[in-house]
């Protein structure tokens, strides 16, 4: 059983849409599921907002200059989930949102992301309702919180 530990979850918006990514098929946990833009863990002594920028670069090839400052939306979010292989995620996982500049391009790291799509917040809600099994459990739970939904609708 995985001990409770600290991580973060990040959502990206641009032009009224939200980025969803599909985890690489080579990922040990939740391979191939659709999720929010990216997640990660701060390095020792690293500020969480700095870790968000670092992971945006590593997972999606996004330069920090192409993102607004990450905004903490759900500071107390946590979850525990077990994937089909039995691996347990058990995280204190504050949720951030950042806005991507209109001219920025993403270049997903294939070891992290096999697909990505921009979708309206309403389209994401409809997809979660129609096929929750294709999404990560943390995306589903995060998306159920009104502060995040309200921020994504802006």
Please identify every residue annotated as catalytic.
39, 91
Cα 106 from chain centroid? Answer: 14
* Segments of 59-99 assigned E as strands: 71-74, 78-82, 88-92, 95-99
Alpha-carbon span 70 to 49, nearest angstrom: 6
DSSP state of 146: H
Q: Which of 26, 27, 28, 56 is nearest to 40 (CA)?
A: 56
Structure-token pair, residue 65:
């200059």
Bridge partners, 34 (sequence order): 22, 135
- Residue 9 and residue 140 in contact, taking contact as beta carbons nearer than 8 Å: no
């Amino acid at each position: 059983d995985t001990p409770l530990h600290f991580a973060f979850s990040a959502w990206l918006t641009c032009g009224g849409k939200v980025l969803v990514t599909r985890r690489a098929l080579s990922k040990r946990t939740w391979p191939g599921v659709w999720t929010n833009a990216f997640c990660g863990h701060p390095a020792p002594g690293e500020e969480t907002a700095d870790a968000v920028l670092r992971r945006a670069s590593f997972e999606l090839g996004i330069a920090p200059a192409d993102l607004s400052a990450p905004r903490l939306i759900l500071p107390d979010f946590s979850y525990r989930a077990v994937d089909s292989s039995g691996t347990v995620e058990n995280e204190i996982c504050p949720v951030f949102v950042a806005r991507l500049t209109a001219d920025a391009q993403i270049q997903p790291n294939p070891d992290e992301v096999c697909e990505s799509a921009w979708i309206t917040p309403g389209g994401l809600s409809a997809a979660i309702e129609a096929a929750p099994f294709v999404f990560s459990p943390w995306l589903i739970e995060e998306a159920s919180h009104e502060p995040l939904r309200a921020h994504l609708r802006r």
